[in-house]
Amino acid sequence: MTPLSFALVFVALFAFVVGQLVLKKAMEASNAVGFGARKFLLPFAAGILFMTVSFFLILGLLQRYDLSYIYPFQGLSVIIISVTAVVVLREKLTPPLIIGAALISAGIALVSIS
Amino acid sequence: MPNKPTGLANPWLQLGLSVVFVTASELLLKRGANETANLAGSWGWTGLSALASPAVWLAIILVILSFITWLHVLRYLPLSVAFPISQVVHILIPICSWLFLGEVISHLRWGGIALVSLGLAIVAKPVARLEERL
């Protein structure tokens, strides 16, 4: 795997996480201001954009590498999303949530490489 | 955060539906891809030839439905809870591939499925307690 492809794996992962966070922000805003307001529409559009970028980056990587090589990295998304949800969205992370997220990530990686 | 809606709009029910839609769509995509594998021409690498299969179109509808239900979930549940739980698809998809598509699951893969299940059980336990208190 070239350094560029390796970097692209993480760019795709980063775009996926940012997409989820921004969509979460958008849906929370929709509770307060409805679906017509800019406060909803801007993060919603950004979320769709980030998810689309991530989707096509992964599709491009899959054309060059095996699914079993690319997919374990997706397991990381559970841990990264849990951590960023705390930092960015100020959600509370309890010890069971941390342990559970770590086990799920490890399990996904194991399913992928087997 | 507003009060959680009940009935069909209950976010936990919607999370369950989202997971079922994702699982069903993946199985249908695989079936559609198998059906159209021999159609692959010079544009085969794009996967576009799979659009000839009705199963793929049904899968696309299910993907859209899963996205809509997921957005509904995001309105009401914390991402740090909903996202790990949504990973139950990593258990359901291999098991359904085994049941419905006759795929073989290695011991190592069963081990991975067990780890994901354990992680989910640990995540879900405090959530159940939280819901009881509400």
- Beta-carbon separation of A28 and B75 below 8 A: yes
Tell me the pLDDT tens digit for each residue of A44-72. Answer: 999 999 999 998 888 888 778 777 777 77
pLDDT of residue A112: 79
Q: What is the pLDDT of residue B133?
A: 58
Assess: ipTM above 0.85.
no
pTM, rounded to two decimals: 0.84
Which residue among A20, A100, A114 sits closest to B109, beta carbon to beta carbon?
A114
Report the pLDDT value the prediction gives residue B134, as an integer from 0 to 100.
54
Model pLDDT for residues A73-100, shown as the tens digit of each residue = 888 889 999 999 999 999 988 888 999 9
> CB–CB of B116 and A109 under 8 A?
no
- CA dist B12 and A7 (Å) reads 36
Q: What is the mean pLDDT of each run of 10 residues along chain B (134 residues)?
A: 75 95 91 78 68 89 95 92 92 90 89 92 78 61
Residues of B in contact with A24 (CB under 8 A): 74, 79
Task: State the smallest CA–CA distance between residue A3 and chain B in angstroms.
Answer: 24
Q: What is the pLDDT of residues B2-11, one digit of tens each?
A: 567 888 889 9
Measured on CA atoms in the order A80, A98, A29, B64, is the torsion positive or negative? positive
Q: Does B84 touch chain A (CB under 8 A)?
A: yes
Please say whether the beta carbons of A75 and A109 come within 8 A: yes
* pLDDT given for residue B37 in this prediction: 76
Question: Which residues in chain A have their CB less than 8 angstroms from residue B126's CB?
Answer: 94, 96-97
The alpha-carbon gap from B91 to the nearest alpha carbon of chain A, in Å, equals: 9
Give the separation between CA B54 and CA B88, rounded to whole angstroms.
Answer: 27
CB-nearest partner of A110 from B79, B112, B124? B112
Q: What is the pLDDT of residue B8?
A: 82
pLDDT, mean over chain A: 88
Determine the pLDDT at residue A19.
96
